[in-house]
Structure 1
Amino acid sequence: MGVRGLHGFVGSSCPQVCTEVNFRELAEQHRSEHPGRAPTIVVDAMCCLRYWYTPESWVCGGQWKEYFSVLEDFVRTFTAAGIRLVFFFDGMVEQDKRDEWVRRRLKNGREIARIFHYLRAHGEQPGRSMFFIPSGLAVFTRFALKTLGQDTMCSLQEADYEVAAYGRQNGCLGILGEDTDYLIYDTCPYFSISELCLDSLTTIMLCRQKLCASLGLSLPDLPLLACLLGNDIVPEGTFETFRYKCLSSYTSVRENCDKKGSVVFAVADHISKVLRSHQGERKLEEMLPLGPNKALFYKAMASYLLPGQKSPWISQTPKAVTTLDKQEVPMSSDPESKQEVPTNLEPEIKQQVTMVSDTEILEVARARHVQAESYLVYSILTSGEVECSNTLEDALDRALPSQAFVYRPVRQRVYSLLLADGHGGAGSCPAVREWFVYPGNPLRHPDLVRPLQMSLPGGTPSLRQLWLSQEPGAQAQRVEVLLACLDLSASREELQALESPFRTLCCLLIYLFMQVDALCLEDLHAFLAQALCLQGKSAGQLADLQLDHVDPRAVQLGSLLVRGLTTLVLVNSACGFPWRTSELMPWNVFDGKLFHEKYLQSARGCSAEALVEQSRSRLARFHQLKSIVCKACLGEGRRIVSQQLWRPHHTGRWGRQGPGSHRTSSGHSRSSQGQYWRDQGPGSRHHESDPWRRHAPSSGWSN
C-alpha cells in the first residue's frame, strides 16, 4: 500500500522521521489548545484489520466473539482517554487502482494456495507468518464498530483520500493507519497502528516535515516524489529507467552509500536540484518516458491534493479546471507553460452516470453507504460494478464450488431488484460487472452477470415501496422479497416462526444445502451444533478450545458460511432492512474453531447429544432446526444424507459420482452434471441464464 519502498526507507535510512508519542499526552495538549473540542483521531480501518485480529485461530473461519471483544477493548481504551474515534472503510475501488487491486488479489491467491498446502501436509494451522485475515472481516468490522456506538464511514472513493481530507478539514489530532500515502498528503499528523501499544497508548508518529528536511524537499514536492517512486496509481516499473539514471548520478559522487535506500535519496536529490532549476519542467518531460502514461502521471500527482491545495508541479489558473473522477486538477491555458496538464486528459473528463435515474433513491442509497449501513447496494446502483476479495478456498478441492458461484443466483436476484425499476424488468437490465476472486480466475476482466427475475405474487415491488413506504404491510413485503432473493418463499412460515439468530442460520443452511450436493448430514449437524453451543460460551472459553487437527474441507466450509452472511447483509440492505442488521452478524451464529471441533466430532460419528454437550434444551432445539432445514430441502427434491451412504462412490473426498439432479428455480431438472461450473470459470464473460439450483460435487472449476 502507498509509496513503493518508502516504508522500508524510513525505517532503515531515515529513522529520524519516527518519534514515539503518547496519545493521552497529545489529547491533553489538544484540549488545552482547543477548549471545548474533543481530540479526534481518524482511523483508516482497512489498515487496522490485522492489528485488531488477535485471536490465535484465524484459519477456521474467524473467531468472531473474540474479535468483537478485541474491538470493545480498543474503543474503550481510547474513550477512557477522552479521545473520539472516526473510522473510515474503503467503499469502492477506483478504476485507476483496479490493476493494483488485481495484483494484490492474485498475490493473495498464491498465499492461500500455500496455506492449504500446509494444511494438507501438517493438519494444523500455519504460523502467524502465513496469517490471512478471515473472510468478511472488513464488512463485519464496520457493523461491529457501529454496534459499539462509533462514528463509522464508508468512502465514496479510495479511503485514504477521504481520511486525509477529513483529518485536515476537522483539525484532527491525527490519522491512525499504516499507509505511506499519509506521509505524502499535507494533512494532520500520521500515527502507526502497527506500533500502537494499547495499554500505554503509545505509538510512533511519522513526521512528513522531518522527511522533507532529510530529503531536501518541501511539502508540495512529496506528491511528485511519490509518483516517481511508484504508488497505487503509477505502476512501479513506469519510471524504473528514470530512477536508475538518478541513482547512477547520485552514487557516482557519493562513496559507500546504500544503493537500496539511496533510490529515494537520489530521486529527491534530482527533484531538489535539477527539477528546481530554470529548465526543470522541460527536463522532467525529457527524462520521463511518460508517453501514454502522461495523463495518469498528472492525475496521480493531483490525487494527493486535498480540497483547497495547489501544487507547484501542476501549472494552474483559476478559470481552467478539469474534473477527473472526483479530483479537481487545475490546468493552465498559458501557452508558455511547460508543464500544463496535457490535453489528452479530455477522455478522462466525465460526469457520473448511474444505473438508475431516481435521484431520491440514489440519495438514500448514498447516505446509507456513507454511514456504513449497507453493503454493495450503492455501487450496484451507481456503477454497476462490485468486487469481492479473496476467500479461504482450496483450489484442489473440486467437490466444493467457490462462494462466488454458490451465491451468484442470490446476487442476480438482487441486481434485478435494484436495477429493474428503470429498465422495464430484469430481462432488459444491463449486466453487472463482478470482480469476484475465485480459484483459477485470472481477473483480466470482470464477469458480466445478468440480473435474474424473481417470482413474486403481484410482481417485484419498486425500491420506493421497499425503502420509503411506511404502510402497515411494508415490513411484511420486505421480508417476502428477502426470502424470494434466496428462493426460500416456500419455507416462509417455518422461518418466520424462528427467533433470531436461528432464523438467519436456517435461511443460510437451507440455501446452501439446496445449492451444493457435496454437503452431507454430518455438515448440517456441525453447523447447527456449533451455533447452539456458541450461545452459552464466552470469548475466553472459545479462545481456550483446542483442536486435534485442522481439516482443509472444514476450513473452506467455514469461509463459505461466513460469505453467506455477507451475502445476507447485501440482500437485507437491498430489501430495505426487513431484519435487523445485528441478526446477520457472525458473532451471533458462528465461531470458526467451535465449528471445526463440531465438524471433526460429527465426522467421527458422535451423537447429537454429544455434539450439543449433553444439554437437553439444546438437543431439543437441534432437532427442531434440523427438521426445518431437512423438510425445506426435501420439498425441493434435495434429500440430505449421511456421508456414509455415498462415500464409497465419490470421485473426490466428499463427492458423489455420476450425473446429479440439478434443478432450476422453475422446477425442471437437468442431468449435464458439472457444465454450469465449467461455464462459470475463467474466460467466461456473460452469465445470463437462470443458474442451476444445485451443483454436484465433482464439477469444480476450470483451472
Structure 2
Amino acid sequence: MGVSGLLSFLENYCPSACYKVKIETLLEEYRQQNGTVTLPTIVVDGTGCLRSLYGDLDWVCGGQMKEFKEVAEHFVQSFKNLNVRLVFFFDGPTVEEKRPRWVERRIQSMRDVDEILNLISMPPYKSQNLKRKHRNYFILPPGLGNVARFLFKTEFGCEVHVSVKENDEEIAEFARKENCFAVLAQDTDFVILEGAKYYLSMANLRLTTMETTLYDRSELAVALSLDKKYLPLLATLMGNDIVKKNELTKFHTKISKKNHYKTAKQVAAFINDLQINDDDETVYDKIAEEVFGDTSKSSIIKYSVESYKPISSPADDSIVSELDCKTESWKEIVREALRRHRNGLTSAHVWAIVYGQPFELSTALENYRSNDMPFAAQLYCPLRQRMYGILLKEKPFPEGKTEHQISEWVVVPGFELMKSSIVISPIYPTVPHPGLLALWNDSSQDVADKKWNLFVNAVSETINGDELKKLDSHLILPAAAIRYMYEYDVISEDEAKAFIATAVVVSHSPAEWLRRLNVPKINERAVRLATLYTRGFGMLTLLVTAIGEPVPLKTVMPWLSFDGKLFQKIYDAATRRKEENFILCNKKEENLDAFYKVASVVFNDPLYKNRKS
C-alpha cells in the first residue's frame, strides 16, 4: 500500500523526515500557533488502520469482536483525553482504475491462506508456531471493516465518513479544507499528498505514552533535493497502486542497480535532470519514453501524478447526475443512497449496488484447493440475489434490456484465472415492497412490518419468521445465519449447536474472560466454518442496512454474539466430546433457555427443547 520503497527509505536513510514525536507536545505547539482552534482534528484512515488496531488479537479462529471493541474504545478515549476530535474515513467501493491491483492482492492473499491452513492442519499443531511463522501474515476477520465503522459511529459517537472515490484523496481533501492537525494512517501516499499539518504513523503509535512516528513531507523533499511539486512524480516512478513496481524494474535497474536507498535518490535525480517545463504538454510522453521506452504509457503516468494533486471532489449532485437515472424517482433514491453511504449509515455495498458498481468479496480463511464445503461467495449467492432484488426493484431497466445484471468480484477457486467479473441477476421479493425511500425513512408500523417480511423472505422461505422475531435482538442474526448454513447442509446438528451455544454464551461473557481463553489445538474445519458463519453474518448485516434496519443495527453487532476462540472450544465440546447442551452453555440456565429458543428456529422445531440434550 502506498509508494514502493519509500517507507524503507524514510526509516533507514532519512532521519530528518522520519522521527519520533509526543502527540501531546505537537498539540501544544499547534494550539499556540492556531489560537482559535480549541478542538484539533485528527483524520484517521479507518481502513488502513485496522491491522494495527486489531493488534495481537487472535484472527485465525474467526475474530475476537468483543475484545476488539474494548481495544477500539481505549483508542478513542486516549485521544479524547488529549481533547482531540477524531474523524474516521473508510474505503468505499474500489476505484476501477485500481482493480488490477485489487486482484493482484487477492491472489497473493489466497497463497497466504493456503499456507496458513496447511500449518493448522499439519499435526502436531501448535498455535505459537503459527504466530511465529506468520508474523508478517494477517487475514482480517471477515466483516471487521464494517464492524469498526459502525462501532466508532454508533458506540463511541465519532464522526465517520465512507469514501465514494479514492479514500486517500478524500482524506487529504478533508484535511486541507478543515485545516486538520494530523492524518493518522499507515500509507506512504500521505507523505506525498498535501493534507493535514502532520502525518502520523498508526503502526508506531503507543497509546500508553501517546508517542508515534512523524513523516515530514517537506523534509523528504529537502533530503532528495527535489521541489515538493514533483513528489507525485517521484511516487509514480518508484511504483504505487497505479504504476506497479514490477513494471519499473528495468528503469530502476538502469538508474540505481536495485539498491532501495539509491532508488529514491536516483529517481529524484532523474526527475531533476528532466528539467521539466510545466507548460510542456508533451512532458509525459518524454517521461514514458525514458522510463518504459513506450510513449503509450504516458497516460497512466499522468493519471498517477494527478491522483496526488489537490483537487476538489465533485459535489454529490454531480455524482448523481453522472448516472442515466431515467426517472426522477430513481434519481432521488440514488441521492439518498449516497447520503446514507457518506455518513456511514449502511454497508458500503449498498451504494455500490445502487450506483451500478461491482460487489466485492475478498479473501478469507477458506480452502480454495478443496471442495469439501461450499465457498462463502457461492453459498450466499442466493441471499445476495434476493438483496439485489430489493435494492433494484424500482430501478429502470437499461435501454433495450428487460433485466438488471450485477457484476461481482468474488474470491473463489480459479479466481487467479479470471479476466473479468462474474455477472448475476437479481431475484425480486415475493412479499410487498414499499419502496426504498420508505424502507429507509418511514418509521410507521406498516413499513416496519414490511421491512421484517422482506428480511425473512430474503433469508429463507422455510425459516419461521414469527419465532425468529421473538428472539432477543442480538440473537436474531446468529439464528438466521446458522439456519441458512443448516438449511444448505453445510453444518451438522452438532456443529449448529456449537454456533448456537457460542452466540448465547458470548453475550454474558466479559471481554476479560474471553481474552483468557486458551485454545491449544485449533480445528481446521472449525476455522473454515467460522469463516462461512462470519461471512453469512456480514451478508445479513448488509441486508439489514439495505432494508432500513428491520432490527436496530446497534443490537445485532457481532461482538454481542460471536467469539472465535470460544467457538473453537465449544465446537470441540459439541462435536468430539458430545457434551450436553447445559455444558455447552457454560452451565448457566439462562444461557440454556436462550439456546433452546434459538435452536427451535434453526432446526425449525418448536418442540426442540423437549428433546434429549
TM-score (normalizing by structure 2): 0.90
Compute the displacement of 1:145 (Å): 0.7
Write out aligned runs for 1:59-458 (5 A). Answer: 59-121=60-122, 122-125=124-127, 126-127=130-131, 128-129=134-135, 130-146=137-153, 147-188=155-196, 189-247=198-256, 259-276=259-276, 281=283, 283-284=286-287, 286-289=289-292, 290-307=294-311, 352-353=322-323, 357=327, 358-375=330-347, 376-423=349-396, 428-442=402-416, 443-456=418-431
Alpha-carbon distance in 2 for matches of 1:47, 1:420: 35
Amino acid at match of 1:193: M
- Are the counterparts in 1 of residues 286 and 295 from structure 2 also a CA contact under 8 Å? no
Q: Residue 26 of structure 1 corresponds to which residue in structure 2?
A: 26
User: CA 1:277–1:294 in 2, change beyond 3 Å: closer, same or farther?
Assistant: closer
Alpha-carbon separation, structure 1, partners of 2:165 and 2:224: 31
Aligned mates of 1:622, 1:353 — CA distance in 2: 48
By relative contact order (CA 8 Å, sep 6+), the higher-ranking structure is: 2
Q: 1:35-70: per-residue Cα shift (whole Å, max 9, x none)?
A: 342111101112211111134422000011100000
Q: What is the alpha-carbon distance in structure 1 between the residues aligned to residue 397 and residue 152 of structure 2?
A: 39
User: Are the equivalent residues in 1 in contact too, given 2:405–2:423 (CA < 8 A)?
Assistant: yes
Structure 1 residue identity aligned to 2:213: I
- 3-state DSSP of counterpart to 2:604: helix
The Cα of 1:454 is off from its aligned counterpart by 2.5
1:191 is paired with a residue whose SS is: strand
> Does the CA-based 8 Å contact 1:40-1:84 persist in structure 2?
yes
Any conservation in 2 of the 1:389–1:437 contact (CA below 8 Å)?
A: yes
**1:636-675 equivalent positions in 2, closer than 5 A:** none
Q: 2:404 is aligned with what amino acid?
A: P
* Corresponding position of 1:544: 516
Q: CA deviation at 1:351?
A: 7.3
User: Post-superposition shift, 1:491?
Assistant: 1.0
Aligned-residue offset at 1:449 = 1.1
Q: Which has the larger radius of gyration?
A: 1
Counterpart position of 2:497? 525
Q: In structure 2, give the amino acid aligned to 1:206.
A: Y
Q: Which whole-Å CA distance do the structure 2 matches of 1:152 and 1:403 have between them?
A: 28
CA distance in 2, matches of 1:452, 1:432: 11
2: distance between equivalents of 1:609 and 1:572? 32
Stretches of structure 1 that go unaligned for 5 or more consecutive residues are 249-257, 309-324, 328-348, 643-703
Are the equivalent residues in 1 in contact too, given 2:434–2:447 (CA < 8 A)? no
1:214-255 per-residue CA deviation (whole Å, 9 max, x = no partner) reads 11101100011111112111122333333333337xxxxxxx
Could you tell me which amino acid in structure 2 is paired with residue 544 of structure 1?
R
Q: Is the 8 A contact 1:374 1:569 kept in 2?
A: no
Cα offsets for 1:384-422 (capped at 9, x unmatched) = 411121111123442221111111111101111111212
Q: Distance in 1 between matches of 2:392 and 2:303?
A: 32
Q: Tell me what 1:315 maps to.
A: none
- Single out whichever of 470-479 and 562-571 deviates more from structure 2: 470-479
Cα 1:199/1:19, change in 2 over 3 Å: same
Contact 2:95 2:166 in 1 (8 A): yes
How much is the aligned-residue C-alpha RMSD, in angstroms?
A: 2.7
Closer, same or farther: CA 472–63 of 1 in aligned 2, 3 Å: closer
Query: Cα offset for 1:99?
Result: 0.4
- The one of 559, 583, 605 aligned to 1:587: 559
The equivalent residue for 1:251 is none
Structure-2 change in CA distance of 1:549 and 1:356 (3 Å): farther
Indicate the larger mover: 293-302 or 144-153: 293-302
Which residue of 471, 486, 504 maps to 1:513? Answer: 486
Tell me how far apart the structure 2 counterparts of residues 191 and 633 of structure 1 sit (CA, whole Å): 56
CA distance in 1, matches of 2:243, 2:384: 33
2:8 aligns to what?
8
- Secondary structure of the structure 2 residue equivalent to 1:175: strand
Deviations 1:568-592 (A, max 9, x none): 1211122122211123311011001
The alignment partner of 2:345 has SS state of coil
Letter in 2 for 1:172: C
- Paired residue secondary structure (1:307): coil
2 CA distance for matches of 1:81 and 1:8? 31
Q: CA deviation at 1:483?
A: 1.0
> In the comparison of the two structures, how many residue pairs are matched?
588
Shift of 1:165: 1.0
For residues 217 and 397 of structure 2, the distance between their equivalents in structure 1, rounded to whole angstroms, comes to 54
Distance 1:378 1:608 in 2: 42
Say which structure is richer in helix.
2
Q: Cα deviation per residue 1:478-519 (whole Å; 9 max; x = unaligned)?
A: 11111111124751111111121122221221122112x131
Equivalents in 1 of 2:532, 2:288: separation in Å?
51
CA distance in 2, matches of 1:547, 1:578: 36
The CA distance in 1 between the partners of 2:91 and 2:175, in whole Å, is 16
Per-residue CA distance 1:320-379 (angstroms, 9 max, x = gap): xxxxx969xxxxxxxxxxxxxxxxxxxxx9973367752221121111111111011111
Decide whether the 8 Å contact of 1:394 with 1:552 is kept in 2.
Answer: no
1:534-613 to structure 2, matched below 5 A, reads 534-603=506-575, 604-613=577-586
* Structure 2: runs of 5+ lacking an equivalent: none
Structure 1 counterpart of 2:409, one-letter code: W
Give the CA deviation at 1:566.
1.2
In 2, Cα distance between equivalents of 1:539 and 1:219: 47
In structure 1, what is the Cα distance between the partners aligned to 2:442 and 2:505?
39
Q: 1:243 to 1:633 in 2, by over 3 A?
A: farther
Deviations 1:281-317 (A, max 9, x none): 4753542334333222211111111137xxxxxxxxx
Contact 1:355 1:419 in 2 (8 A): no
Partners of 1:120 and 1:489 lie apart in 2 by 36
Summarize deviations over 1:167-209 as a string: whole Å, max 9, x none.
Answer: 1111111111111111111222211111111111111101111
Q: How much has 1:166 moved relative to structure 2? A: 1.1
* Residue pair 1:355, 1:382 contacting (<8 A) in 2 also: no
Q: Distance in 2 between matches of 1:538 and 1:265?
A: 52
d(CA) in 2 for partners of 1:575 and 1:633? Answer: 28
- SS for the counterpart of 1:101 is helix
3-state SS of 1:205 partner: strand
Q: CA deviation at 1:440?
A: 3.1
Change (3 A) 1:503 1:271: same
Residue 275 of structure 1: how far off its partner (Å): 2.9
